[in-house]
Amino acid sequence: MLPNGKTDISIIGVPIDLGADRRGVDMGPSAIRCAGIEQKLEQLGYIVHDLGDLAVRRPAARPEPGERLKYVDELVRVNGKLADKTAEELEKGRFPLILGGDHSIAIGSIKGVQRHVPRLGVLWFDAHCDANTADTTPSGNIHGMSLAVSLGYGSRRLLGVGGGGKRDPIRPEDVVIIGARSIDPGEKALLRELGVRVYTMHDIDRRGMDQVMEEALYRLSSADGVHLSFDLDGLDPNDAPGVGTPVIGGVSYRESHLAMEMLAESGKLVSAEFVEVNPVLDYRNKTAHTAVELIGSVFGEQIM
């Protein structure tokens, strides 16, 4: 059972790849559904409401060379819709489970959850930190800016998604990144300045996932609730080959399950998203099946 006794889960698909500017990840929600997400959750005793996918329009024109905010108009629109839908499901007493799509959707999901959870903690499971801005981005891809926006840094248009100006950004002390191993210079500077806790693969290798998660959950214990933002490229490519930006040397399959099991035991989770599954690059839908199995652990599935 979820925090506050919730038994209802709302699945929201966001089939968008514009934030990554690479085709395939828009099919992620369908791949995860095909891998049996609804059946998994029902077996665990939850009532599942699959709300389908948000509509995404693909712009006819490609970005100009050197564009610092690619496809920003559509990304602002879709994330605004996602913020509204996420808040609406929380208002109904349901747990929002969001399926991406690329990681730009965290902008909308987090803004939506903040309408109901004033002090929100964020557990960011990712090979990347997604803490670039238009000034530091090497690519112009907005999926690499979503955490920076949630912390209150970036373009005014992105910061304004979902009525962003009406509420405070996420506090740096309420963010924990786990699994990072590919961080751009501008991201390092911002995260160090803010004091965001980043557990790199070096930390996990030396200290073990159990200690990392204990510390992470302690750090987030002052928050009113925790949002999980899980990018499948946080896992090692051997366990999750179907992602758009794989980075070798990632978190193992079993370490990831342990992290999700410990998160479930904390009772702090109020919302979650699983993103960046790209079936075009996958092998027999392996990465989507891995996502479903991890979601099972998030919602309390145990070996015994």
Q: Using a pLDDT cut of 70, give the percent of the chain over it.
A: 97
Asked whether the beta carbons of 154 and 19 are under 8 A apart, the reply is no
Residue 300 burial (CB count, 10 A): 15
What pLDDT was estimated at residue 180? 98
Asked whether the beta carbons of 116 and 194 are under 8 A apart, the reply is no
Verify whether residue 276 is a known catalytic residue: yes
Q: Please state, rounded to an integer, the average pLDDT across all residues of the chain.
A: 96
25-51 pLDDT, tens digit each: 999 999 999 999 999 999 999 999 999
What pLDDT was estimated at residue 304? 74
- The answer to the question of whether 126 is labelled as a binding residue is yes
What pLDDT was estimated at residue 266? 96
Verify whether residue 231 is a known catalytic residue: yes
Under 8 Å CB-to-CB from 267, ≥6 apart: which residues? Answer: 3
> CA 67, CA 73: separation in Å to the nearest integer?
13
Verify whether residue 128 is a known catalytic residue: yes
Q: How confident is the model at residue 263 (pLDDT cuts 50, 70, 90)?
A: very high
Q: Return the sign of the alpha-carbon dihedral for residues 203, 209, 211, 216.
A: positive
53-101 pLDDT, tens digit each: 999 999 988 888 889 999 999 999 999 999 999 999 999 999 999 999 9
Work out the widest C-alpha separation in the chain, in whole angstroms: 54
Verify whether residue 126 is a known catalytic residue: yes
> CA 201, CA 223: separation in Å to the nearest integer?
25
- The answer to the question of whether 103 is labelled as a binding residue is yes
- The answer to the question of whether 210 is labelled as a binding residue is no
Verify whether residue 184 is a known catalytic residue: no
What pLDDT was estimated at residue 232? 98
> CA 49, CA 38: separation in Å to the nearest integer?
9
What pLDDT was estimated at residue 221? 97
- For residue 275, CA distances in Å to 63, 98, 161, 254, 296 come to 23, 8, 19, 19, 16
Asked whether the beta carbons of 235 and 288 are under 8 A apart, the reply is no
Q: Residue 6 pLDDT > 80, yes or no?
A: no
Query: Mapped to the 3 state alphabet, what secondary structure does 197-212 carry?
Result: EEEEHHHHHHHCHHHH
Q: Residue 4 pLDDT > 70, yes or no?
A: no
- The answer to the question of whether 203 is labelled as a binding residue is no
State the amino acid at position 254 in one-letter form: R
Work out the average pLDDT over 252-266: 97
Of the residues 128, 227, 257, 289, only one is catalytic, namely: 128
160-204 pLDDT, tens digit each: 998 766 678 999 999 999 999 999 999 999 999 999 999 999 999
Q: Using a pLDDT cut of 90, give the percent of the chain over it.
A: 91
**CATH 3.40.800.10 corresponds to the domain 3-298:** yes
Of the residues 17, 53, 89, 130, only one is catalytic, namely: 130
Domain locations in the chain as residue ranges: 3-298
Asked whether the beta carbons of 209 and 258 are under 8 A apart, the reply is yes
DSSP string, 128-182: S-----TTT-SS--GGGTHHHHHTT-S-HHHHTTTTGGGSPPPPGGGEEEEEE--
For tokens 């009113």, name the residue. Answer: 224
Question: Which among 92, 28, 82 is positioned nearest to 55, based on CA atoms?
Answer: 82
pTM attached to this predicted model: 0.97
Verify whether residue 53 is a known catalytic residue: no
Verify whether residue 227 is a known catalytic residue: no
Query: Comparing 68-82, 152-166, 237-251, 253-267, which segment has the lowest mean pLDDT?
Result: 152-166
What pLDDT was estimated at residue 259? 98
- The answer to the question of whether 128 is labelled as a binding residue is yes
Question: Which among 202, 208, 214, 143 is positioned nearest to 176, based on CA atoms?
Answer: 214
What pLDDT was estimated at residue 165? 60
